[in-house]
Homo-oligomer: A and B are copies of this chain.
């Protein structure tokens, strides 16, 4: 996907010094590029998937569009304190400290097959926590989709028990 990769804007020292940030907004604001991305994600989605689960907040952009295209439900995973109803939650380690993500307990039915989607695979910490959260609800993660993978950070290793697809690699 060379043309799509060329649309990614690389920004040095964001959000902090030493980090090369991969800015995906040029893909989003190009209607053809955005459509191509969602179409490819559809092709990568296994049959008999019942829900698309996405991680706040850039994951919502891809996850909701994919759910719309497939005609299936969309489930948000959010940071702590954002979801209003009965929740399942999980804490996970960051480089410094911990973070918490949550999902509504009625969002996924037991045995339901889902895809998980986010914009970026970096260390894989948030994605692995999301997988565990879905499994706590009784869901089955059939595939994990990312727009961008930062291969040096080895997130794929952390997700090695799952079927992972990324569209653009750096």
Check if B75 sits within 8 Å of A29, measured CB to CB.
yes
Check if A34 sits within 8 Å of B84, measured CB to CB.
no
Give the residue of B15, B73, B81 whose beta carbon is less than 8 angstroms from that of A28. Answer: B73
Among the listed stretches A58-66, A93-101, A141-149, which one makes contact with chain B, having 4 or more residues with CB under 8 Å of it? Answer: A58-66
Q: How far is the CA of A66 from the CA of B35 in the complex (A)?
A: 11
Check if B29 sits within 8 Å of A84, measured CB to CB.
no
Q: Which A67-94 residues sit within 8 Å CB-CB of chain B?
A: 67-76, 81, 83-85
Q: Taking the complex as formed, is A51 at the interface, i.e. its CB lies under 8 A from any CB of chain B?
A: yes
Given contacts A9-B85, A25-B85, contact A34 B68 (CB under 8 A): yes
Q: Chain A's interface: helix, strand, loop or mixed, by majority? A: mixed
Check if B84 sits within 8 Å of A38, measured CB to CB.
no
Check if B68 sits within 8 Å of A104, measured CB to CB.
no
Proximity string of chain A (107-140) to chain B, C-beta cutoff 8 Å, 1 when within and 0 when not = 1000000000000000000000000000000000
Which A residues contact B (CB, under 8 angstroms)?
9, 11, 14-15, 21, 23, 25, 28-32, 34-35, 38, 51, 56-58, 60-62, 64-65, 67-76, 81, 83-85, 104, 107
Q: Could you name 22 residue pairs across A and B whose Cβ atoms are closer than 8 Å?
A: A21-B84, A23-B84, A23-B85, A25-B76, A25-B85, A25-B104, A25-B107, A28-B67, A28-B73, A28-B74, A29-B51, A29-B73, A29-B74, A29-B107, A31-B70, A31-B72, A31-B73, A34-B67, A34-B74, A38-B68, A58-B76, A61-B64
